[in-house]
Amino acid sequence: MEHTALVLLELGAVILGLGILSAVAGRFGISPIPLYLLAGLGFGIGGLAPLEAAEGFIDIGADIGVVLLLFTLGLEYTAAELFGTLRKGAPIGLLDIVLNASPGVAVGLLLGWGPVAALVLGGVTLVTSSGVTAKVLNDLGWLGNRETPTVLSILVMEDLVMAFYLPIVTTLLAGLALAQASIGLAVAAAAVTVALIIAAKFGGIVEKFLASPSNEVLVLKVLGLILLVAGLAERVHVSMAVGAFLVGITLSGELAHSAREILDPLKDVFAAIFFVYFGLQTNPADLPPVLAIAAALAVVGIGTKLVTGLVAAKRAGVGKIGAWRAGVLLIPRGEFSIVIAGLAVAVPGMASQLGPLVAAYVLILVVVGPLAARVVEPVAKWFIKRRRRPPAVAPAG
Amino acid sequence: MDVERTALPGIGLRYEFQTQRGRRMGVVTHRSGRREVVIYDPDDPDSTTECVVLSGEEANVLAELLGGARIVERLAELERQAVGLVSRQVRIHSGSPYDGRALADTQARTRTGASIVAVVRHGEVIASPRPDFRFEAGDVVVVIGTEDGTSAVETLLANG
């Protein structure tokens, strides 16, 4: 009885606190993710008020949070959209990967954390937060702009890359021997491909099974299916996140719409718990030593995304200001970077500074990205004008 | 007129076109039913200067306002194209024998050869009203036919 009371008190305090933080974030028009992370840092190991009783629930809740986050991300896209974008934008996708994963990989190797940690950091620096970027696009009324489809297709491609990247990382993190790992990788690649084909060709059958006019039936069936597939995917080292993402892609149309509506509140709760959980596992005392590296990585990360955006927009025939907007829109890193790092920090023997480094990195970019989007237009205009102005000293002759 | 359609993955679709006077505008349709009307910067065709967010209901009202006017315009155009064919707008007065009665009761087409193609009620256009449509005083009935036919409908609706 005593224990139950304690669990409820702690959970209630945490969730209420998150609600207030989310309200504050909304007041200032910023993403609540950095505040959730900070809250986690405050409650966790070495924090102000460590949680003890509620940890078991938060532990599981965080996993469900990842699964629901990825499921709703998958819901946003149809299989046709994914394949269509891939066909048209593959070169840009490749450029995006090379430019933006390299800094993370390089830092991982330079710090001597080993190849697997380097691969994890590469993923962290690569993926733009599609949630934050979509919100910025909506808030600033930029959906009509010429560069928007280009930006969105880069986001889609990154998410698709993740569907193959996460199984690879999960397998490697499981510490399997090389031969075993390569079998695992083959299984993962096959599973993802088969699931995408099922999504493209037989999505209708799945939808027929799930569809119901009753919200109660729908929420139970959909949630059950997501957890089942996620568990199955985790069991064969494909990563639960990818399993959930694939379920999301399979659903489309009316069913996707109602599934999103009924699962969104659930996702909000568990995703917030996930961000807190990541913060919980990070000791605030570990942050200062990695802050300099994180800041340097963030500066490089801003630069590489700007270049990606500029090149992609120019290729699509967008003018200079639009190209700058495209670059800035790609800066925010968020939920996905944390998801990738979350997989890694749970593994024993992983460099203990990885978690704090990623937390600091995301904290910087998730705040800087949306702010930069608000000032990019005047800055870009000024920059372009300055370059157009003739040099002060007239050349001789 | 060319309407350019662009897919916005994860969001919906965007339609844009250029007006005759050189302004570009577009509509973003979200899967959630939300609509945005965007107007492009005349100096920078990549950027939007205005972005008006409409709920599903507001978008419907806007469409009706634009669409209703279009129907009347199209009628006028039809009239110009087909020589001898005229359209006439007839108001149902409160003393009319058809106030409260169904369109089928008028037997307008059989009796006059002209057709009732639309009714304007409270500023809204009801295109192609069905036979069981009931007139109300104040309705404006749009009739198409020959000169004689349409004036016969006018008399019919006024006096029975």
Distance CA A203, CA A209 (A): 10
Closest alpha carbon within chain B to A135? B11
The predicted pLDDT at position A394 comes to 45
Task: Check which CATH number belongs to the domain holding A151 and give it.
Answer: 1.20.1530.20
pLDDT classification of A396: cutoffs 50, 70, 90:
very low
Q: What is the mean pLDDT of residues B38-55?
A: 88
The predicted pLDDT at position B69 comes to 61
| Of residues A1 and A130, more confidently modeled | A130
Number of domains in chain A: 1
Distance CA B145, CA B123 (A): 23
> A396 in a domain, yes or no?
no
Distance CA A264, CA A223 (A): 12
> A393 in a domain, yes or no?
no
Distance CA B155, CA B112 (A): 10
Contact A100, A304 (CB under 8 A): yes
Concatenated DSSP letters of A40-108: HHHHSTTSSS---TTHHHHHHHHHHHHHHHHHHHHHH--HHHHHHHHHHHHHHHHHHHHHHHHHHHHHH
Beta strands in chain A (DSSP E): none
Long-range CB pairs of A158-161, under 8 A, 24+ apart, other chains included: A158/A93, A158/A96, A158/A126, A158/A127, A158/A128, A158/A130, A158/A336, A159/A73, A159/A77, A159/A127, A159/A130, A159/A245, A159/A336, A160/A82, A160/A85, A160/A86, A161/A93, A161/A97, A161/A126
| Of residues A359 and A167, more confidently modeled | A359
Q: Average per-residue pLDDT in chain A?
A: 86
Q: Give, in degrees to the nearest 5, the angle at Cα A35 between A31 and A40.
A: 140
Condensed to tens digits (0 to 9), the pLDDT of residues A163-176 reads 888 888 888 888 76
Phi, psi of B8 (to 5 degrees): -110, 95
Closest CA to B91 of B103, B99, B83, B81: B99
The predicted pLDDT at position A219 comes to 92
Q: What is the mean pLDDT of residues A97-109?
A: 95
Q: What is the mean pLDDT of residues A341-359?
A: 87
Q: State the residue range of the domain holding A120.
A: 2-385
Closest CA to B120 of B99, B90, B100: B90
The predicted pLDDT at position A337 comes to 92
Cβ distance of A144 and B16 shorter than 8 Å: yes
Cβ distance of A130 and B8 shorter than 8 Å: no
CA distance B126 to chain A (A): 29
Find where tokens 């961000």 sit. A275
CA distance A307 to chain B (A): 19
pLDDT classification of B60: cutoffs 50, 70, 90:
confident
> A123 in a domain, yes or no?
yes
> A256 in a domain, yes or no?
yes
The predicted pLDDT at position A260 comes to 87
Identify all chain A residues contacting B36, using CB atoms and an 8 Å cutoff: 141, 143-144
The predicted pLDDT at position A297 comes to 95
The predicted pLDDT at position B68 comes to 64
Residues of B with CB under 8 A from a CB of A: 6-11, 14, 16, 26, 28, 31-32, 36, 38, 40, 44-48, 51, 53
- Residue A89 burial (10 A CB sphere; 0-12, 13-18, 19+): buried
Looking at the predicted structure, is the pLDDT value of residue A186 above 90?
no
